[in-house]
Structure 1
Amino acid sequence: MGVSLAGFESLAVVERDRWASDTIRENQRNGFPLVQDWPLWSGDVREFDWSGIPEDIDLVAGGPPCQPFSMGGRHKAFGDARDMFPATVDVVQRLKPKAFLIENVKGLTRSSFANYYQYILLQLEFPEVVRRDGETWPAHLKRLQEEKTSGALHLNGLTYNVVPTLVNAANYGIPQKRERVFIVGFRADLGVEWSFPSPTHSYDALLHSQWVTGDYWDHHRIAKKHRPEIPGRMVNRIHKLSSELLPQEHKPWRTVRDALADVPDPRKRGAESFRNHNFQDGARAYPGHTGSPLDLPSKTLKAGDHGVPGGENMMVRDDGSVRYFTVRESARLQTFPDGYTFHGAWSETMRQLGNAVPVALGRVVACSVAEQLALTQLRHLASQRYRKQA
C-alpha cells in the first residue's frame, strides 16, 4: 500500500498467507481504491509464473518472512524453511528490476547472523552469481566475496548498489517504536546516488513539546493538574533541552494518544462507526507484559507464534489500567487508512497487523526510490535529445 501511494502500479501482488489474501479481496470487493486493481495471486512466491512480468520493471518490493531472524522466532536463519531470501534473490535475478526494496526485522543484524546477513547482501549485489547444486551457503558466500573483490562483474554483469539501513519507524512519524531493516538496491548501470530519507521526527522534540513548552498537553486539552510529573530519570535531559535549539526539521514523535485522539473507547457510544473496533477482554499486566503508555509511541506490535503477545498489544490508560488495542487502533498505529478493513478473528487480524510494514513508512521509502528512478529517466531522455541534436 505504501508503494502504491508512492505512485507505483502493481503488475503482480504475491501473498502466501490466506488470511491476508482474504483481507485484500474483501477490500477489493468493497471498492477500496488503493487495492482495487491489484492483480493478487495467493500462494508460494516460488511457484508463481513470472513469464508474464517483463524484465527491467521499475521496482521489486517485498518482505521475506521475518520469523527466521525475529527475537520471537526460532533464530534458524538459513536452516529455517521460511527463509525466503533465496526466493527474493531469484526474483531479482529473473526480473532485473531497476530497483528493489526489502524490509525485515532488526534481528537480521544480530551478531549471530553476521555472516548470513553479509551473504544476503552479497547475493542481492550479485544476483547472477547463483548457488550451485550441493554448494553450502558458506561456500557460496566465499565465491561472492571473491566476486566482489575481483570487480569483474561490475563491468558487464547484473549488479546492484545495495544500501541496508536500520530504521526506527517513530523517527518518520509512525506512532510506534518499530525498528526494522530496509535493504534498498539500484541497478548499477543506472548510476543512481541514493541515501535513506532523513528522519523527520524525534524523541527530543516530543520531550520539548511535553515538558518545555507544554504544547503537547495543550493540544490534547489536558489541564495542568491532570498532567503527569516529569519522569525522574528524564529531569536532566529535559533541563538540557530547555536551553537548546532543536533542529527545525524535526517534529515530535507521534504518540498513542496522538494516533487515537478521535477514536472512542470501544465500549462507549460512537465506537460502532469505526470498522474493526471491538473490545477484546482479558488484558492484564505483569512483569515484562506491561503495555504501551499513551504519551509515547507504542511498543512494536508483534504477530507472535502462538496467538497474540498481549504485552505489546495493550495500552496503559491514564488511570493505570490496561486493555488490548482493538484491531482498528492497531491499524492506526501501523498507519493503515480507516477505510481498510481486516478479515478474520481478532487474533488472526492482529497477526496480519504485527507482520505488516507501517503504510506511511513504506510510502516514505518508496517515494524516495521513485524520485531517483524519475530523475534517472529524465537524465536518459535529456541524453537522447542531446545525441539527436549533435
Structure 2
Amino acid sequence: MNSPGARVQHLDGIRMLDLFAGPGGLDVAAHFLGFKSIGIEWDRNACETRYAAGLPTIHADVSVMRESRFDEIPRSVEILTGGPPCQSFSVAGKGAGRRALDTVKSYIHRLVHGDDETTIDEELRALDDPRTALVLEPLRWLLKAIETEGREPYKVIVLEQVPAALPLWDVYARLLEGGDGRLRGYKYDAECWELKTEQYGVPQTRTRAVLVARLPGYGAGKPPKTTHLPFDVHRRIRKTAKVDTQQAGSESSENKSPWISMADALNNASQLKDSHVDVSRLRTGGSTTFFVVSNYGSGGDPKNRGRRNSSEPAFTVTGKISRNKVYKSEEDKKAARSVRFTIPESGVLQTFPHNFPWSGNDQAQQVGNAVPPLLGMHVLSKALRGNAPEPHELADARTWPTVPRSTTDELRVIGCGDQGQCPPDSHKVIRPSRKHAP
C-alpha cells in the first residue's frame, strides 16, 4: 500500500499546489478542468474527506511544510493557489485582521525587501490573532520557490479571501508587478477581483476577493465574465421588489441567466442518478417551497435573524449552516417544526457534487470553509486558460467519480502515514461525528 509505485502514481503530473486546501473546493475545480493538484491541510477531518475523494494531500501545517519539508512538494508544480483562513478578516469574526491591515501590509513589503524573517516571525506571534499572519504564507511560498536551487517560480498564482483582505491583495499585486528584492526580477501581471458567487451560478450570496498573478504569457488579465444576474441582498430594505423577483439592472441587457435559487439547486441535484439529496421533506403540494432563518443576526441586531425563501439564493454558507432553521410554512415556524440542511444539501449549495464523500467530523465546518468549486472553475479557467469553463466540464461537475477504497488508503499513507509529521495531537481518538438532522 505504501509502495513507491503508488506514490508515483498519485503524485505524478501534479501541476497545482493548494495551500490551506480544506476539503478541496479549488482542487475539485481543478479536477474538472483537467489539472491535477495536491493540497496541504492542517485539519484531520478535512484530510479524511480529501482522501475519500481521491485528492492527493499532505496533512501538515503550511508553515512547517515551507520551512522544513519544502522538498516534498513535487517539482512539477507550477500553479500556486490558496485561501488562507479568513476568520480574523471576516465580518463574522472579531476583526483582528481588519484592524491589523496596515501592519500586515508592512510585513508584505518587509518580506519582499529582505528583512530578517526570524524577527518578522516573532512580531507576527504577537498579533491579536495569530491566524492573521497566515495571509502572508502564499508570498513566503513564492519567495521560497524562487530562492530554492532547482525550483522555478510559480507561473500562476490564484488566491482568495473575504473582501476585507482586498487591500492586502492590492499590495501583493503591486509588488509582484515590480519584481524587486527577493522576487529577483520576476515580474508578474497581477489583477485583483471582487467576485459575487451568485453571478457565476452558485446558489448562494457570497463575495470573495481574488488575486490572480501570472508570469508574462500565461492566461488573461480580465476577471471571468459573469454568467448570472446579481441578487439584491438589500431588497427588503429598499422595498423596491417583491421577495421572489429577480433583480433588474444594466446587466439584464446582456442576456444573463437569473441567479440560481436554493430550490432549483436542490431539485436538480435530487434528480441525478443515485443522488445523495432528497428534498421530499421540503415539498408542499408537489413543489419544493421553504424558507430559511439564519443562525446569524442582521443589521447589527443579533436577534434579528435573516430570512431567505427557497426561490432565492442561500445565505453565505458558513460552518454554522447546520444551525440554520428550515421551515415549510409560517405555521411550522409558529409550532417550532423546523428541519436542517443535510451535509450533501449544504455541499450542493456550495456547488460540490451531490455525492461528494464528506468524511470525518465537523462536516458542516468543512463545507463552510471551502471555496465554492463552481466559482473556482470560473476563476481557474480564466487564470490558466484565458476562457470560461466548457459546458461539458460544468455538466460533469455535478457528480463526483467513484474512488476505490485502495486509492483512499494509499493517499492516507502519503498524506499522514508518518503521523509524527502531522500537526500535534491531530491523531488522537475522536468521537464519531454527530448525525445532522434531515
Q: TM-score range by the shorter chain?
A: 0.5 to 0.7
Counterpart secondary structure, 2:252: coil
* Aligned counterpart, 1:71: 91
Q: Which amino acid aligns with 1:72?
A: A
What displacement does 1:2 show? 0.7
Change (3 A) 1:24 1:123: same
Change (3 A) 1:363 1:309: closer
Q: 1:169 aligns with which of 194, 197, 203?
A: 197
> d(CA) in 1 for partners of 2:245 and 2:61?
51
Q: 1:22 aligns with which of 41, 48, 52?
A: 48
> d(CA) in 2 for partners of 1:52 and 1:43?
12
Q: Does 1:362 align with 2:376?
A: yes
What displacement does 1:178 show? 0.8
What displacement does 1:186 show? 0.4
Q: Per-residue displacement from partner, 1:50-98 (whole Å, max 9, x unpaired)?
A: 2244668431111111112111223222433113122211212233111
Q: 1:250 aligns with which of 246, 253, 256?
A: 256
* Aligned counterpart, 1:13: 39
Counterpart secondary structure, 2:195: strand
Contact persistence 1:310–1:324 (CA under 8 A): yes
> d(CA) in 2 for partners of 1:5 and 1:366?
11
* Aligned counterpart, 2:81: 61
Contact persistence 1:293–1:317 (CA under 8 A): no
* Aligned counterpart, 1:179: 207
> d(CA) in 2 for partners of 1:266 and 1:40?
36
Change (3 A) 1:75 1:360: same
> d(CA) in 1 for partners of 2:282 and 2:260?
25
Q: Which amino acid aligns with 1:169?
A: T
Counterpart secondary structure, 2:339: strand
* Aligned counterpart, 1:103: 160
Q: 1:326 aligns with which of 325, 328, 342?
A: 342
Contact persistence 2:179–2:185 (CA under 8 A): no
> d(CA) in 2 for partners of 1:120 and 1:68?
19
What displacement does 1:372 show? 3.7
* Aligned counterpart, 1:288: 304
What displacement does 1:192 show? 5.0
Q: Does 1:81 align with 2:130?
A: yes
Q: Does 1:260 align with 2:266?
A: yes
Q: Per-residue displacement from partner, 1:79-134 (whole Å, max 9, x unpaired)?
A: 3311312221121223311101111112224xxxx4x554444455467635xxxx
What displacement does 1:232 show? 5.8
Q: How does 1:118-267 map to 2 (within 5 A)?
A: 118-125=170-177, 129=181, 157-187=185-215, 189-190=216-217, 193-203=220-230, 233-234=240-241, 246-261=252-267, 262=270, 263-265=277-279
Residue identity over aligned pairs, in percent, reads: 25
Q: Which TM-score applies when normalising by structure 1?
A: 0.64
Q: Return structure 1 stretches of 4+ with deviation > 6 angstroms.
A: 237-240, 282-286
Change (3 A) 1:175 1:341: same
Contact persistence 2:202–2:374 (CA under 8 A): yes
Question: Which gives a bigger RCO, structure 1 or 2 (Cα 8 Å, sep 6+)?
Answer: 2
* Aligned counterpart, 1:94: 144
Q: Per-residue displacement from partner, 1:137-156 (whole Å, max 9, x unpaired)?
A: xxxxxxxxxxxxxxxx8xx7
Q: How many residues align?
A: 287
Contact persistence 1:283–1:323 (CA under 8 A): no
Larger radius of gyration: 1
> d(CA) in 2 for partners of 1:315 and 1:179?
23
Unaligned runs of 5+ in 1: 28-34, 131-152, 206-230, 270-281, 374-390
Counterpart secondary structure, 1:299: coil
Change (3 A) 1:39 1:126: farther
Contact persistence 2:352–2:373 (CA under 8 A): yes
* Aligned counterpart, 2:328: 317
> d(CA) in 2 for partners of 1:18 and 1:62?
18
Change (3 A) 1:324 1:370: same
Counterpart secondary structure, 1:181: strand
Q: Per-residue displacement from partner, 1:145-199 (whole Å, max 9, x unpaired)?
A: xxxxxxxx8xx70122211111110000000001111111101x43754211111
